[in-house]
Chain A
């Protein structure tokens, strides 16, 4: 190998290290502060005394419901919009550029704006109050642009020859979408879902204003329930001496994200075999 190539390789490696080291340090600091609190009981007990004692069971339930509402809305609607864009709006046209630009702008809107809107619209105007439903819907609004854009790119990435072949075989539009287009784009769509889950689980501002702050186990989707991220924020910022439990909750959140990532990746593996 020539020396400039070798140098470039080394610089690349160093840059990668520069990214990985802070991430490792961050995990280490969470472990250092929170590992002492982490136990099976921490996962199975409800929080008590504003989270200073007890565990996070109720918060796991609330977070799960909020995420479920968010994905149940964001995935079908997002996929539908992406299908419309990729099937009906040819790439490179003014309409495609304009719609893409609007979606990118919406994706860049600070989350607190979605929080305030969600509070005003879902909680007050629609009368859903501080509830898991308000929270999940506000989150769905927030992740939709991201979901649509990544699914759209995945769908547009499916080779033109497949479309031509399917048309030559006079496969119906629906058959093409359901049997060929979406399965082929599945890995890209999975990335969109994973990014959406990541953003949704990390979100604090939106949820503080919609799903709320209540530590009880929710009985229905119309009950307020505190998400893990809100709990971490509150323990770290407002509760005296809450840092160890905030760190332990952070570790649980990281673990959940990793597990969900693996599951989605596995579930939406690229369709193989049929085309070779």
Chain B
């Protein structure tokens, strides 16, 4: 009898250990933001003792997990669309997209019309754009990537019109594709491109509409192809969630944003 009771208690105790901690925060979404978020979450945990679980998987998942209540915040590396207005966006930073070519390519600038012509396959050779007589390798991002959506929207393109030679997923893949191919053109996060170019990757960042692709021009809001980094939430924020949000937008965190080549939102 006593043994049975003990077993019962043990079972209850074991099962109660299975319950997720009450004050744990879950954040899911954009693979662009998740390394930054994991870093900030670690700092927040050390300071407050509140556990933060960061999950990756893409902006689309950030939206759906925030909607279904699976996450306290969804990470979304773009502005919310009109059919996503049921969610609240908290701007935490900015990122830009840079058009990149190989450093050995003599082309130093392209107009928007020329970029559109290249991506739709109307312009297939560098020679008429001031470059060598060589076929252009068009590097495009895969569906579901927020960089791709932003790129298409900016140039007024429909994904069916694009004639890519290579479809890539993450920023680093784009960097590698262009660094290894003298005739390639691609687009990646501006922070990633600047970091890799500084680290010696043979890349050239093309100015857009005459605005140079630098972190400064993005911060000043002049660079045309930049995006918001948002945490999205549904309904009222819990106390711990707003604590985390305050922590993340504190100016003291700026250095961490710069580590990932993002710009913190200036208060």
Contact = CB atoms under 8 A, between A and B. Distances in A.
Given A48-B42, A124-B70, A238-B170, A212 B53 contact: yes
Contacts of B31: 234, 237-238
A239 B64 CA distance: 24
Interface residues of A, number: 27
A144 B106 CA distance: 54
Nearest to B61: A209
Interface string B153-177: 0000000000000000111110000
A142 to B, nearest CB: 18
Instruction: Pick the most buried of A48, A51, A52, A241: most chain B CB atoms within 10 A of its CB.
Output: A241
Instruction: Pick the most buried of A51, A216, A236: most chain B CB atoms within 10 A of its CB.
Output: A216
Given A52-B259, A130-B55, A222-B18, A215 B191 contact: no
Nearest to B68: A124
Contacts of B20: 129, 222
A208 B56 contact: yes
B42 A212 contact: no
Contact of A237 (B55, B173, B199, B259): B173
Contact of B55 (A212, A239, A240, A241): A212
Given A49-B259, A234-B56, A241 B38 contact: no
B50 interface: no
Main secondary structure of the interface of A (DSSP, over half): loop
B19 to A, nearest CB: 9
Contacts of A249: none
12 contacts: A49-B42, A124-B70, A129-B20, A209-B57, A213-B34, A213-B56, A214-B54, A220-B18, A222-B20, A237-B173, A238-B56, A240-B195
Interface of B: 17-18, 20, 26, 31-32, 34-36, 38-39, 42, 51, 53-57, 70, 169-173, 191-192, 195-196, 199, 259-261
Given A48-B42, A236-B172, A238-B171, 20 more contacts: A49-B42, A50-B34, A50-B36, A50-B42, A50-B260, A51-B35, A130-B26, A130-B55, A209-B57, A212-B53, A213-B34, A214-B53, A215-B38, A234-B31, A234-B34, A238-B172, A239-B35, A239-B260, A240-B192, A241-B195
